[in-house]
Structure 1
Amino acid sequence: MQNNHNHRHRNGEENGEAHDNFFHYNEEDERCDEGAYECTHCDVAKFRYPDGTVRLRNPHIELMDQDILYHLALGSESHDLVEMFGDVKFVCMGGTPKRMEAFAYYIMKEIGHKLPTGTTLQDISQYSYRYSMYKVGPILSVSHGMGVPSIGILLHEIIKLMYHAKAKDPIFFRIGTCGGIGLEGGTVVISDDAVNEMGQHHYEVPMLGKPVRRPAKLDRRLVRELRALADPEDPYETVIGTTMCANDFYEGQGRMDGAFCDYSESEKMAYLTHLQSNGVKNIEMEVVPFAALTHHAGIKAAVVCVALLDRLKGDQVCAPKEVLDEWQIRPQKLVGRYIKRYLQTKGRISFDGHGSMAVKSPRRFKLVQQESETFD
């Protein structure tokens, strides 16, 4: 594809070329073509059908008799995924099942969604025993577990779910917790960039014995819209900055309280200070695959986290539970404001249905459940 517009795009990492300097890009490698760092506008055009539904970057799916979303206990022929999820506009994900169940109830109240009398929210993926998923009108609330592999698996299947459901222009949010760098506990961080522990802006996955790198990019316009919704009356700060993704909770984040530690306090502080000087506001364990896979799918996405501590002051989370519980609601409030404003603007504040099962084939439905229950 010829570059005939004014966007500047970073490349050089997908071809296995690692930059030597932390947070450094080789400007000579920038371009916009297939496989490079495309802009959001390019992605939407390439990875959407004309009606706004998701276009998968996997030609093999259409040739399959059935696509089993193994870790969600759903299937393209066992369930009527269009009936169940075709109206989904927002996919909100966070680490734990309890947090995402709480968010489902929170957003249900915020948008005025009513469940039919005598019913309650249903964990749609309860038979997977891996992830929990709740549907509130056009909103999915899903747990993604902890760390890169767990959220990577979920994203593959959620993106395929949006494809099978024919959901139009879905927006993904990660709502989570993190460690701040120079930020007080309770500060909300909206990620505008994502880097790994080496300061690289890509997600690397070994495929067929070779490393494949995909750019980790978040939607900048969505970042600005979220920041604009931060209330000046909020008793806490909301900031924008780069988020570092670690593959480990302890040594990978420079903590000194793990079972092992082969560095000194001064070395740890030098590393954290270096991150801070390069614009890193917080550390967590999912932003890079989240940004990379949503970008690769052409899906608008954003990450909003709350800092549970300032890593420049310590390694352990020591705030009382009631304080932590209140802090964890703060990212939910910001994302909730965005969703509520969007639905009010579109005139869609009330929805029927609550994510109940729509079985297409009873036989296949039972088989999918049994398959998902096979292993703990």
Structure 2
Amino acid sequence: MPAMNAVTDLMQDDIYILWNDIVESIKQEYLSEEQSYPWILGFSGGKDSTVVAHALFEALLSLPPSKRKREVHIVSNDTLVESPLVVAHLERSQDALRNAAQSWSLPITVATTRPPVDKTFWTLLIGKGYPSPNQTMRWCTDRLKIGPTSQYILDRVSALGAAIILLGVRSDESESRRNNINKWKNLHESNLQPHPELTGAFIYRPIVSLTTEDVWEVLGTFAPPWGGSHNGLIQLYRDAEGGECPVVLSKAEAPGCGTASSRFGCWTCTVVEKDKSLQGFVDSGNHEYKPLIEFRDWLKQIRNNPEYRSVERRNGLVTFDVSGKHIPGPFTIQARQMILEKLFETQKAFGGSPLISKEEIDLIKSTWAQELAKKGQ
């Protein structure tokens, strides 16, 4: 037993040393020459971005107020079709971060990006008839995720000349990510890497060396500086049986959205074969989410039914692939009306927060009217 206690104490010492090194490295980077450039933390509310936010708060609190000159933006993305349980967790986290930043007078802004009403999931799918996203036609990621958050970053770049994006990505998440990170580190001494698609933006990865086990140990060992504990987040992962869709800022990162390894995400996601997160919530007792699963499965099922698809594309052309197979156009207006009615039924069965806004419904019906007028119907 004494030997076992000694091993446990040694492991605890290791996580304290590791954590102190992470906080210290963030503090030193914050005080670096590029202090005029704002930091933008992509915050999904998942385990990795929560660890970065935790370390960032610790680093700022260790500095005297006179040294806290760099602006920090903690930015989340709401696609407007996020899993309601995840949205609730994210909003609680944002409130805690916002209140703590205000209490300690930290230069932190907590913000949420959303797609404009003409580019939401419902206005594109039900309004314009975009077919449900799949692996080869994943139109949702760019419009719902990349576009809104990228614009927020570019606005800061335009105002101050550059911006630095903090991401909770780690080497052990995938072999390709590890190779890309190692390639950059071998060529440069700086912690900052130019973003491949956002001119003037740089990427900083403060927890790149942490393993998944390190992340969970940090969350279980250290209480967040904004109060409470990380137990709610840990339970969320247990209930959902997996990981989150990360903040996505480029097409190169898009494959991480809607895959078997990113189970938190849009409840409407038809890219995945099965929604493991929502099913996990239902299996853990949250039966009110079953109507959402049924709607998603139905939406995936009807996607390629020729009865529901137009012969022509939206530009009026009839197209074929290289093999001569016809490529169907958008959902017909009749199919879109059916989908909207099914969504209303799902909303009634779900009984939670609205699944679609009045603004979206109004724009959808306006889009239908314009299409019918154009066709002379």
Structure having the higher strand fraction is 1
Structure having the higher helix fraction is 2
Rg larger in structure: 2
Return the structure number with greater relative CO, CA threshold 8 A, min gap 6.
1
TM-score range, shorter chain: under 0.3
Give TM-score scaled by structure 2 length: 0.26
